[in-house]
Amino acid sequence: MSDIVRIDTNQRMSRVVKAAGLVFIGGQTSADQTPDIKRQTASVLEKIDGYLDKAGIDRTRLVSAQVWVANIERDFAGMNEVWDAWVPEGCAPTRATVQAQLASPALLVEIAVVAAS
């Protein structure tokens, strides 16, 4: 049985869990809650980069992503523009994107990723 490492843990959740050769980064939202999907997406991806770094890896190790967008019709293209610039060429993970009601009306996007360690 492999060790499980938890990073930035509290009673409710861990921001990162390393287990079985994978790194799981829970859903991240933007600290900047301005009504701009591109800025919120960039903020989320910056947070994910920080957690990848804490786990000792980078975005070339991504294997899966889940994206929730509050208004997919309005914001899908803008989110994808930032996402596409962030994902290294040749390293795109599998991805699912859906529209969802997020925890706060000001939030436009939430992203969770899984990476190989």
Angle among Cα 98, 114, 80 to the nearest 5 degrees reads 40
Fold category of 5-116 in CATH: 60s Ribosomal Protein L30; Chain: A; (3.30.1330)
pTM above the 0.75 mark?
Answer: yes
The answer to whether 104 and 33 are in contact (CB under 8 A) is yes
**Residue 34: what pLDDT?**
83
**Residue 114: what pLDDT?**
98
Write out pLDDT tens, residues 29-88: 998 888 899 999 999 999 999 999 999 999 999 999 999 999 999 999 999 999 999 999
- The residue ranges of every structural domain in the chain are 5-116
**Residue 24: what pLDDT?**
98
